[in-house]
Every structure is written in C-alpha cells, then in structure tokens.
Amino acid sequence: MGMLLALTGKDDDSEYEDGPFFLASSSAWGACAKWVTDTLPEEDFPTLTELAQTGECDGTDALAVEVGGVVDVAGKPDGVAATLEALLDLLGMGDADETAAIVDEDDVPDDVEADTDA
C-alpha cells in the first residue's frame, strides 16, 4: 500500500488538481512523519511538522523550503531520506503555494487517475 501526494490550489474546485502522485510506501511515510515530529523543532519547520502530524498543510512554497533544509541533514534513516527527497521532487509538480495532502492510495476514488508508479 502506498501513500500519495495531492496538490490543490486555493481557488481549485477539484480535490486533486495535481496528482495524486506516488510518494512512498505507507511504512516509509510513517517513518518519515515520526522522524520529523520526533527530531525537528516545530518552530523551525512548522509546515513540514503540520504535514507530518495531520497529513495536510497549506503553503507548498514554505514546505519546499523546509524540506530542502532537511534533505541533506546527516543521520536520517535511508527510508526517511528517500521519502523527503521524493517529497521535494513532487512539490515542483504543482503551482506555487498550494495545499499538500498525503492520501492513502486505497482512498483515492476510482474515477481519479493516480500516478502510482514507484
């Protein structure tokens, strides 16, 4: 089972304007979210922490800056590093300043075409 990233603009009617795109396995996303919440100071990484805690955040521009700031931090488990790198790559797929949401691929409606290629 995989976790997908969906990006939606502020004025968009669709729940999935861009994506959803394959991000990581559910266990890799879980490990990444745990690493973020257990390791990073929330006051320095508020957008990334919100995404890790709730699965959704506003402000993909801010999120990209925060993720970019931790991608090269040493000492992350391999799965966490790969998940953060994939997240950073996917944040460039949409428009500036969208809402990012982590979506379980099993929850994506049948009429939505998801990019689930790992």
Residue 69 domain flag: yes
Q: Is the dihedral of CA 61, 67, 71, 77 positive or negative?
A: negative
List pLDDT tens digits, range 81-91: 999 999 999 98
List pLDDT tens digits, range 1-54: 688 888 887 655 555 467 788 899 999 999 999 999 999 999 999 999 999 999
Q: What is the reported pLDDT for 92? A: 74
Number of domains composing the chain: 1
Considering the chain, what percentage of its residues have pLDDT values greater than 90? Answer: 49
Strand blocks (E) in the chain? 2-8, 18-25, 56-58, 99-104
* Mean pLDDT of all residues in 52-63: 94
Q: Is the dihedral of CA 62, 67, 68, 73 positive or negative?
A: positive
> Domain span at residue 36?
2-10+31-105
Q: What is the reported pLDDT for 18? A: 72
Which residues partner with 37 through β-bridges? none
Residue 99 domain flag: yes
Residue 114 domain flag: no
Cis check: omega of the bond before 41, within 30 degrees of 0: no
Nearest to 6 by CA among 94, 73, 72, 86: 94
Residue 116 domain flag: no
The type of residue at 117 is D
Residue 67 domain flag: yes
